[in-house]
């Protein structure tokens, strides 16, 4: 294939050096050198200029973008497993294939869920802020007492790969009892791997959980799944962890519940209006706030980029794309 005939590809954000190099050696690639989010107008222009766009969760690939007149793009190679920022129906209508990157970020995100679980239950974020701000006066028996997790119930909403990996870590690493809710029950061997117990009603699961970890996809069905009513069903000692999608949690209602100590704590890695975080959450000590670090290891982000690249390779070779979602 001559250089002039190489497909033109846009990476909407900077990737790791290894992943960028792989694509640049094979295609006519444009990098977002400023590494800032692209607006709808820029994405619409990209639809006319490129054969494939490789977006991330920060890019609104909506109907207005996908329906751009004179669009040239035939592949949206998403960098990430979640794709609720992409209007899949509009992509199908426009004859544009969409792919994602499953599997490769499972362990990193599960690790992050456990990190938030421990930070929130042990008040680690609160303690670090106290120390850094010079407010720590020394050890004392009743200072910043948190909660042990051994023997407690970890309730999981959604039981896909990341949720299963989180359950395995919690059960085998910390002796937690695992209960889960999902659209369907997992196979017996998956349940047995972490002694997970299926609960067929999400409200019942919420009421019994000591820690509630969210792993469900974003979208209309799960928008504000955790709202004021469901927060009121939780134990006053309960902790919420969200590494799924920010829209799953009503942040305003969560802030009210945390401020009133209706629940003990929360650990969040995703937000409704990223990068904006609800101001009422920012000022609370009993919430741990991380800047969407779920898959943020060099190994994982490189693997994600190379997974996109494999989808791009297959698409332009005219072969079936393994990670096709639309």
My answer on whether 111 and 98 are in the same domain is no
Residues 230 and 117 both lie in one domain: yes
**Is residue 325 a part of any domain in this protein?**
no
Whether residue 183 is found in the same domain as residue 169: yes
292 is catalytic: yes
pLDDT at 326 (0 to 100): 87
- pTM, two decimals, is 0.94
Domain shared by 70 and 158, yes or no: no
Claim to verify: residue 252 and residue 134 sit in the same structural domain: yes
pLDDT at 234: 98
Nearest alpha carbon to residue 302 among 18, 8, 26: 18
| Percent of the chain clearing pLDDT 70 (strictly above) | 99
Residue 216 lies in a domain: yes
Q: Flag whether 326 is in a domain.
A: no
Residue 111 maps to a domain? yes
**Is residue 79 within 8 Å of residue 308, measured between CB atoms?**
yes
Same domain, 171 and 259: yes
Catalytic residue among 168, 223, 274, 310: 274
Q: Are residues 167 and 261 in the same domain?
A: yes
**Within a domain: 93:** yes
Active-site position among 122, 171, 224, 292: 292
CATH of residue 184's domain is: 3.40.50.720
Q: What is the pLDDT of residue 1?
A: 45
Query: Which one from 13, 169, 230, 245 is the annotated catalytic residue?
Result: 245
Task: Look at residue 322 and tell me if it is in a domain.
Answer: no
C-alpha 282/C-alpha 209 separation (Å) is 25
Output the pLDDT for position 233.
98
Q: Is 245 a catalytic residue?
A: yes
Residue 257 shares a structural domain with residue 123: yes
Structural domain for 12, as ranges: 3-104+298-316
Give CA–CA dist 62/39, Å, rounded.
11
Which is nearest to 213 in space by CA: 273, 262, 171?
171
**Is the same domain home to 66 and 165?**
no
Show pLDDT as tens, one digit a residue, over the chain (326 residues): 455 589 999 999 999 999 999 999 999 999 999 999 999 999 999 999 999 999 999 999 999 999 999 999 999 999 999 999 999 999 999 999 999 999 999 999 999 999 999 999 999 999 999 999 999 999 999 999 999 999 999 999 999 999 999 999 999 999 999 999 999 999 999 999 999 999 999 999 999 999 999 999 988 999 999 999 999 999 999 999 999 999 999 999 999 999 999 999 999 999 999 999 999 999 999 999 999 999 999 999 999 999 999 999 999 999 999 999 98
What per-residue confidence (pLDDT) applies to 5? 83
The per-residue pLDDT for 4 is 59
Cis preceding-peptide flag for 204 (omega within 30 of 0):
no
The phi and psi torsions of 108 (rounded to 5 degrees) equal: -65, -40
Residues 176 and 310 in one domain: no
79 and 188 together in one domain: no
Q: Return d(Cα 165, Cα 168) in angstroms, integer.
A: 5
Indicate whether 59 and 116 sit together in one domain. no
- Give yes or no: 278 in active site: no
* Spatial separation of the C-alpha atoms in residues 290 and 271, rounded to whole Å: 10
Residue 319 phi, psi (nearest 5): -105, 160
Is the residue at 67 inside a domain?
A: yes
Domain membership flag for residue 321: no
CB atoms within 10 A of CB 227: 14
Alpha-carbon distance 132 to 144, whole Å? 15
Neighbours of 131 (CB within 10 A): 10
Number of domains composing the chain: 2
- How far separated are the first and last CA of the chain, in Å rounded? 28
What is d(CA 68, CA 96) in angstroms, rounded to the nearest whole number?
12
């Amino acid at each position: 294939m001559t250089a002039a005939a190489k497909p033109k590809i846009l990476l909407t954000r900077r990737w790791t050096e290894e992943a960028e190099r792989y694509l640049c050696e094979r295609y006519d690639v444009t990098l977002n050198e400023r590494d800032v989010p692209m607006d709808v107008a820029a994405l619409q222009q990209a639809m006319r200029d490129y054969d494939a766009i490789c977006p991330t969760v920060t890019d609104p690939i909506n109907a207005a973008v996908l329906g751009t007149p004179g669009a040239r793009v035939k592949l949206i190679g998403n960098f990430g497993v979640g794709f609720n920022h992409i209007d899949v129906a509009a992509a199908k209508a426009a004859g544009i294939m969409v792919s994602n990157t499953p599997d490769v970020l499972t362990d990193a995100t599960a690790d992050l869920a456990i990190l938030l679980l421990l930070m929130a239950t042990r008040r680690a974020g609160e303690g670090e802020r106290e120390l850094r701000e010079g407010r720590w006066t020394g050890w004392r028996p009743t200072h910043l007492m948190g909660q042990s997790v051994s023997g407690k119930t970890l309730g999981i909403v959604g039981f896909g790969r990341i949720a299963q990996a989180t359950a395995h870590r919690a059960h085998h690493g910390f002796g937690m009892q695992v209960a889960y809710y999902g659209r369907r029950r997992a196979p017996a061997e998956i349940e047995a791997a972490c002694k997970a117990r299926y609960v067929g009603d999400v409200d019942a699961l919420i009421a019994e959980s000591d820690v509630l970890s969210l792993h469900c996809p974003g979208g209309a069905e799960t928008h504000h799944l955790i709202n004021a009513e469901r927060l009121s069903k939780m134990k006053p000692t309960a902790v919420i962890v969200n590494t799924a999608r920010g829209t799953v949690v009503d942040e305003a209602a969560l802030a009210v519940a945390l401020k009133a100590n209706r629940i003990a704590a929360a650990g969040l890695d995703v937000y409704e209006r990223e990068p904006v975080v609800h101001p009422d959450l920012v000022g609370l000590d009993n919430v741990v706030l991380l800047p969407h670090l779920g898959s943020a290891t060099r190994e994982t982000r490189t693997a994600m980029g190379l997974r996109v690249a494999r989808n791009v390779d297959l698409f332009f070779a005219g072969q079936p794309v393994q990670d096709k979602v639309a």
